[in-house]
Homo-oligomer: A and B are copies of this chain.
Amino acid sequence: MVTAGSGNTSNSQRYSGRMADTEGLGPEQLATYFVLMESVSLLQHAVEQQLRADGDLSYVQFQLLARLTDAQGQLTMTELADGVVYSRSGLTYQAGLLEKAGLVTRGPSPDDERATLVTITDAGRQRVDQVLPGHVEVARRLLFAPLSGEDVRALGDVMTRVRDHMRAEPPRSAAARARRRDG
């Protein structure tokens, strides 16, 4: 058995494994990993449908706009790609689409002539506002519905630690790009 029953509905949690030191993972960890990937996959599919239906956006495009909204200003292409976990060439493509749609603008940076600053437009903000309610609704219905407040807090806590850990860890094999804020 490889995936430890990732396709089953029942949760046979009768394994009391522990973090092995030199060995691999126990079935419990492996099952956790697989169910995590599967759930997010399902969620992402649903979310993509909603964004496309409500505002003709892909999830990546939504992420980019949301990130720009967060930044309260402009971001360089690299910062944007880095935040969204995306290839640079892919971002060039998507930024082109967003610019053509009038949701962002691209301009040169005063500090660095090479850099391209991406700015969200009012139409872009409007689009985010347009899809956000439905987006939130999907997340609530699919992800949060079966969870208690305590579950949500635990999930957020755990995944935040995982995210921070992965962000701190270099990709290890590929040509690691420079990390600002060396921590």
Please report A residues at the B interface, Cβ cutoff 8 Å.
1-3, 5-7, 9-11, 13, 17-19, 21-22, 24-25, 28-33, 35-46, 49-50, 53, 66-67, 69-70, 83, 85, 128-129, 132-133, 136-137, 139-147, 149, 151-167, 169, 171-174
For A3, list chain B residues within 8 Å (CB).
66-67, 69-70
Question: Known contacts A7-B70, A44-B37, A142-B169; is A28 also within 8 Å of B152 by CB?
Answer: yes
CA distance A50 to B169 in the complex (A): 15
A62 CB to closest chain B CB (Å) equals 9
CA distance A146 to B168 in the complex (A): 11
Question: Known contacts A6-B70, A39-B166; is A33 also within 8 Å of B139 by CB?
Answer: yes
Tell which of B6, B43, B159 touches A166, judged by Cβ atoms closer than 8 Å.
B43
Question: Known contacts A6-B70, A146-B165; is A139 also within 8 Å of B30 by CB?
Answer: yes
Contact check, B142 vs A165: say whether CB atoms are below 8 A apart.
yes
Tell which of B24, B46, B136 touches A30, judged by Cβ atoms closer than 8 Å.
B136
CA distance A154 to B31 in the complex (A): 12
Contact check, A33 vs B166: say whether CB atoms are below 8 A apart.
no
Beta-carbon nearest neighbor of A20 in chain B: B140
